Structure 1
Amino acid sequence: MADNFNYKHLHYFWVVATEGSIARAAEKLFITPQTISGQLSMLEERIGQPLFDRVGRRLRLTETGRLVLRYADEIFELGKELTDVLRGAPLVGTSEFIISAASALPKTIVYKILEPALSLSEDVSLLCKEGPVETILGELAVHEVDMVLTDTPLSSAFSVKAYNHYLGQSDLTFFAAPELAGQLKGSFPDCLNNAPMLLPTKQYAIRQLFDKWSHDAGIFPLIRGQYDDSALMKSFGKAGFGVFFMPSIIEDEVEKGFNVDIIGNLSEITQKFYAISAERKVTHPAVAAVCSAARDIIFK
């Protein structure tokens, strides 16, 4: 076997072996079964021996597979232990704090939530990523990030061992470009009926809440666009393509920054915000600073 052992391939093998099938491993890792099969083949080629016997649709570990699994158990258990120890250690020297934020979260709110981590120490280096909820939770599952920011709490629907840390919530404010605002008929929120509307995609909790509210209220806007990215949605809103909403705690920034008018405020729906980490009790200093400041200052 070559010296440059690929631990990513080993991790895929370990998840397949512990989950019992490639399909279940693919669900846990949020990647395709074809990708896992390809990585396993590369690992078996590197080792020079098969790791599984294919019995129908089932996988059965070979003798070599059982040997590799014993070592993999120790390797990844030690890796988890090291991660836990380092997360609880004081910051010494430059420390990289890696977060992934759901794309639909307003960037202004993400900044407000994360800014306390940078104030914690000049030696904290912030690495920000974003993406769909399933993708960023997958990154958390394999310890590629320290924290996930989202408006969708982790539930049993996601096969990820992690914990929700509730940060706070905000009412919604609705905006439109001045020309479109002048064309809306009636008072808010009735003016939204048959009005062009820009919305987050349905993977986000706030979209699901809006759909339920509009159905119950008998208000049915014309959906002109659905967006994974909040900044893109605001840009289309600024151009007059439709009414859009944002959390009320940033309504001043949105109104002035995008030159749009406030149509109204809706208190019947609140957008909740969560930090999700791999630890039940927050010990990572940067995560603790983020959670504390969000609860005590931003969403107070």
Structure 2
Amino acid sequence: MERINYQHLYYFWTVSKQGSISAACEILHLAQPTISAQLAVFEQSVGAKLIRKEGRKLVLTDTGRAVFHYADEIFTLGREMTHMLKGRTSERGLRLNIGISDALPKLIAYRLIAPLLKIAEPAQIQCLEDKTERLLTEIGLHNIDMMLSDVPATPASGARVFNHFLGESAVAIFAAPELAKRYQQDFPRCLNGAPFLLPTTNTALRRSLDQWFDTQQISPVIQAEVEDSALLKTFGAAGAGLFFSPHTVASEIQRQYGTQMLGPAAGVSERFYAITAQRRMKHPLVSAILENAQHGLFDLLNKPKV
């Protein structure tokens, strides 16, 4: 495809946004056969199927979703250019779509994103929480600009993406006040047989914690395994068990959840990464997140040895 027919792209974009050709007809003031024919021509020029029928519904293919994302950006920028030419300021400002791995501590995610809320230029930030594998797919389809994760992407993921190390934090143990009173003497030996809330076995932190338990000769009583980090802390705040979290946000955890820090899990740390489809950061908001992390956001900032 040497040159895009933007009229055809606009028809495709309108149909995708409206969810049906008949709804798009009312906006475009065109007959249904006309739009159907133009969509067929556009798919032929692209060389891929963009929309398929599922019953009475129109569903975008993977390629269609990627094309729609680009079209959305193109026509949004077109509206902004029109506003600028008319002397109107942009209502949208910069936009950033961020994927957040469900295993990533939400207080860490907030610390990374918070500086964007204070910048002078208006910014529109959209956060999507999901499993790492699905977010990597979204990056490949350009549906998100970056993702924040506790593990780097590997070649096995199948996505052509780049890892940007943000930093790492030591890990500490927290508990609700009543539960914390039982485990303050002879730490960490007193934790043998203690009730614990642990991340699920498919997380990097859980693998490190299992090794730490073995090294310390501690046999935990696992009350629950919780994948979502915020839900795990909610259980912990209710006194269901002891839990682990990054030391760098200890004060926020104690204040927000009403818990107490018992002590560090010596030798255990969590690492944090930004994952993008580009090696060089062109998006100013992504660059701001990376720069913020590199200026002392975490208590340990030595890059991991490869």
Normalised to the residue count of structure 2, the TM-score between the two structures is 0.68
Shift of 1:258: 1.5
* Mapped partners of 1:146, 1:121: distance in 2: 21
Amino acid in the other structure paired with 2:35: D
> What are the superposed Cα offsets for residues 211-244 of structure 1, whole Å, 9 maximum, x if unpaired?
2222233222111111122221111101111000
Would the aligned equivalents of 1:174 and 1:262 in 2 still touch at CA under 8 Å? yes
Match of 1:3 in 2: 35
* Mapped partners of 1:228, 1:277: distance in 2: 23
> What are the superposed Cα offsets for residues 14-57 of structure 1, whole Å, 9 maximum, x if unpaired?
59xxxxxxxxxxxxxxxxxxxxxxx86759xx9xxxxxxxxxxx
Would the aligned equivalents of 2:147 and 2:274 in 1 still touch at CA under 8 Å? yes
* Mapped partners of 1:276, 1:245: distance in 2: 24
Q: Secondary structure at the match of 1:297?
A: coil
Match of 1:238 in 2: 237
Q: Secondary structure at the match of 2:155?
A: coil
Amino acid in the other structure paired with 2:215: D
Listed as ranges, the gaps of 5+ residues in structure 1 are: 16-38, 47-71, 87-91
- Output aligned runs, 1:278-293, within 5 Å: 278-293=277-292
Would the aligned equivalents of 1:197 and 1:243 in 2 still touch at CA under 8 Å? yes
Match of 2:183 in 1: 184
Shift of 1:186: 4.8
Q: CA 1:2 to 1:214, structure 2 compared with 1: closer, same or farther past 3 Å?
A: farther
* Mapped partners of 1:164, 1:271: distance in 2: 15
Would the aligned equivalents of 2:189 and 2:216 in 1 still touch at CA under 8 Å? no
2:162 maps to 1:163? yes
Would the aligned equivalents of 2:183 and 2:262 in 1 still touch at CA under 8 Å? no
2:131 maps to 1:99? no
* Mapped partners of 1:206, 1:172: distance in 2: 9
- Output aligned runs, 1:1-300, within 5 Å: 3=35, 5=39, 93=90, 94-184=93-183, 186-299=185-298
> What are the superposed Cα offsets for residues 130-169 of structure 1, whole Å, 9 maximum, x if unpaired?
1111122221121111110010110122111111000000
Amino acid in the other structure paired with 1:128: C
> What are the superposed Cα offsets for residues 88-141 of structure 1, whole Å, 9 maximum, x if unpaired?
xxxx94222110111222222111101223334432111111111112222112
* Mapped partners of 1:200, 1:137: distance in 2: 21
Shift of 1:199: 1.3
Shift of 1:284: 1.0
Would the aligned equivalents of 1:255 and 1:261 in 2 still touch at CA under 8 Å? yes
Q: Secondary structure at the match of 1:298?
A: coil
* Mapped partners of 2:215, 2:280: distance in 1: 39
Shift of 1:266: 2.2
> What RMSD, in angstroms, separates the aligned Cα atoms of the two structures?
3.4
User: Which is worse superposed, 135-144 or 167-176?
Assistant: 135-144
* Mapped partners of 1:259, 1:159: distance in 2: 42
Listed as ranges, the gaps of 5+ residues in structure 2 are: 1-32, 78-88, 302-306
Amino acid in the other structure paired with 2:102: S
* Mapped partners of 1:233, 1:276: distance in 2: 25
Would the aligned equivalents of 1:164 and 1:276 in 2 still touch at CA under 8 Å? yes
Shift of 1:205: 1.2
Would the aligned equivalents of 1:98 and 1:147 in 2 still touch at CA under 8 Å? yes
Q: Percent identity?
A: 34
Would the aligned equivalents of 1:133 and 1:203 in 2 still touch at CA under 8 Å? no
Q: Secondary structure at the match of 1:136?
A: helix
* Mapped partners of 1:111, 1:165: distance in 2: 18
Would the aligned equivalents of 1:118 and 1:125 in 2 still touch at CA under 8 Å? no
Would the aligned equivalents of 2:212 and 2:265 in 1 still touch at CA under 8 Å? no
Match of 2:30 in 1: none
Count of residues paired in the alignment: 238
> What are the superposed Cα offsets for residues 44-96 of structure 1, whole Å, 9 maximum, x if unpaired?
xx9xxxxxxxxxxxxxxxxxxxxxxxxx89x96xx59x99xx9xxxxx94222
Q: CA 1:41 to 1:195, structure 2 compared with 1: closer, same or farther past 3 Å?
A: same
Q: Secondary structure at the match of 1:282?
A: coil
Normalised to the residue count of structure 1, the TM-score between the two structures is 0.70
